[in-house]
Chains A and B, each alone.
Chain A
C-alpha cells in the first residue's frame, strides 16, 4: 500500500503533466510535453552541446569549490587555534557569511572579465565562508583531553594540527563541505545565467529568453540530476572517511 502510494504519486504527477500538455489544457509554452523534452534532450546530446555545457559548469563549480577548500579549511583551523587570527577574522566572517555573494558578480566581471575567471572567483568566495565557519567551529571545540594526551605521548606541536586537530574537526569540515557544494552549484548556475559564456545556466537562460521551454526543462532536469548525484556522492564520501565516527556506525 505504502509502496503503491509512493510510486503512484510520482507516476501520477508525471502523467498529469503529460496529459495536461498533450491535451493542450496548459499551453505548450508553459508545460512542454515529456515527449518534446525527450526529443530536445536527444538533439542537444547528439549535437554535443549538452555534454559540453555540463562539463563546463562542473569545471567551474569544482575549481571554485576546491580553491575554497584549500583556502577556507586552513583559515578556519587557524581561527580555531590562534587567538590573533580569530580576533581578526571573526567580525569579517560573521558579516560576510550571511551576505548574498551573488551581489558581487557585476564587480567581479569588472575585475576578472566575462569569462570563466569571474564565475570561478565568485564560486570561490561564496564557498569559502561556510568552510571557514564550520572548520572554525570544529577546531575550536576540540576536546582538550585529546590534545593533552597526544602531547603526553610525544606528538610535537606542529604535528598535533595534522594528527589530532584536523581529524577531530573532520565531521564539521564535512558539514561545511555539504553546505558549500550546493552553494557552488547555485552560484555557478546564477553567474552563468547572468554572464553568459556557456554552461548549463547560460544555455538555460538563453532558451528561456527565446521561450524554448522543452530545452529549459532539459537543463532543469540536468541540474536536478547533478544536484542529486553530488549530494549522494558527498554522503558516501562522508561515510567512507568518517568510519570511526559514531554517526557512521549508527547508519549500519
Chain B
C-alpha cells in the first residue's frame, strides 16, 4: 500500500545537483529529523532520561552488534518469524484454495472462520503461552495462528474470484480438471493471495514483538523490554531501531517479490 507513495515524492525535476540530492532528496527528511533529534538532546532541550542522543544510540547499536548481543536476539526473532509466517502461508493457501474448490470443505470451515476472523489475534498470546510455554514454540504458534486466517480468506476469495471466462477458455483448449488448478486457478488467485499475505506479514511482527515482550528470555522484543527495565535507554533504542529496520526490510523485500511475480499486472511498457 505504501507502494503508491514510493514514486511521487520528488520536488526536484530531472537535473539535480549533489547538494539538491542531499537536501531535497527522497530520504533527506529522515536526515532532518535525526539532526533535529541530535541537536535537541545535545542542547539539553530534551532530558536524556526521556530521549537518549542519537549518537549514543548508534554507539550502543555498534557495541551490541560487536558483542553479539543484538545478532543473537535478532536471529532468535527472525527464526520465529520465518517459521511461523512461512508455515501459515503454506497451510493458509492450501486450505483457502481447497475451500474454494470443494463445497464440503467450504461448508465445514466457513462458519468457523467467520467466528474466529474478527478476533484480535493478540488474544491468542496468553493462551498459547500457557499451553506451549515461553520458548520458541509459543511464539511460532501465535504467529502461525494469527496469520493463517487472513491468508486463508484471501486465498479463498482469490480462487473464487477467478474470471469464469478464463476457466472456460482453459477447459475448451483441453486443460483437464486437475491441471486447471495449477494452470488457471492459482495464477488467477495470486494477486489476492499476495496482498492478503502482506497484511499477514504486518500482523506477524506485532504478534512476534508482543509475545516476546510478554514471555521468554530471547528475541528483540524481550531485549527491548529487558533494557528498558534495566534503564539502558540507548540500548533499548538500539533494539527498537533493529526491530523497525527488520520490519521495514521484510516489507520491502516482500513488495519486491510481489512486484516480480505480478510483473504481468503492470500497465506501462518497459
Contact = CB atoms under 8 A, between A and B. Distances in A.
A contact patch SS: helix
Contacts of A2: 103, 107
A45 interface: no
Interface stretch (B83-91, B186-194, B221-229): B221-229
Contact of B118 (A95, A105, A110, A228): A228
Nearest to A229: B118
A223 B117 CA distance: 11
Contact of A211 (B50, B130, B236): B130
Contact of B214 (A93, A104, A205): A205
Nearest to B146: A186
Contact of B112 (A9, A101, A219): A9
B120 A182 contact: yes
A99 B2 CA distance: 12
Interface stretch (A143-151, A152-160, A189-197, A241-249): A189-197
B168 interface: no
A84 interface: yes
A73 interface: no
Contact of A189 (B11, B111, B112, B123): B123
Contacts of A213: 130
Nearest to B227: A106
Interface in B95-140: 103-104, 107-112, 115-116, 118-123, 125-127, 129-131
Contacts, number: 188
Nearest to B252: A98
Interface in A81-120: 83-84, 86-107, 109-111
A185 B118 CA distance: 10
A4 to B, nearest CB: 9
B206 interface: yes
Nearest to A7: B111
B79 interface: no
A136 interface: yes
B127 A9 contact: no
A88 B32 CA distance: 9
The CB with the most chain B CB atoms within 10 A, among A94, A107, A188, is that of: A94
A133 interface: yes
B130 to A, nearest CB: 5
A92 B111 CA distance: 40
Interface stretch (B13-21, B243-251, B257-265): B243-251
A227 interface: yes
A137 interface: yes
Interface stretch (B22-30, B63-71, B152-160, B176-184): B22-30
Nearest to B226: A106
B5 interface: yes
A5 interface: yes
A17 B205 CA distance: 30
B145 interface: no
Contacts of A188: 120
Contacts of A228: 115, 118-119
Contacts of A13: 112
Given A98-B247, A137-B1, 9 more contacts: A90-B6, A90-B9, A98-B205, A103-B239, A186-B120, A208-B129, A219-B123, A227-B119, A227-B120
Q: What 4 A-B pairs come out closest when comparing CB atoms?
A: A106-B228, A208-B126, A227-B118, A98-B251
24 contacts: A87-B11, A90-B6, A95-B30, A95-B248, A96-B244, A97-B1, A98-B2, A100-B202, A100-B244, A100-B247, A101-B206, A106-B227, A107-B228, A110-B50, A133-B2, A137-B5, A207-B126, A208-B126, A216-B127, A216-B130, A223-B123, A224-B115, A224-B119, A227-B118
Interface of B: 1-2, 4-6, 8-11, 24, 26-30, 33, 49-50, 103-104, 107-112, 115-116, 118-123, 125-127, 129-131, 201-203, 205-206, 208-210, 213-214, 220-221, 224-225, 227-229, 233, 236-237, 239-240, 243-244, 247-248, 250-251
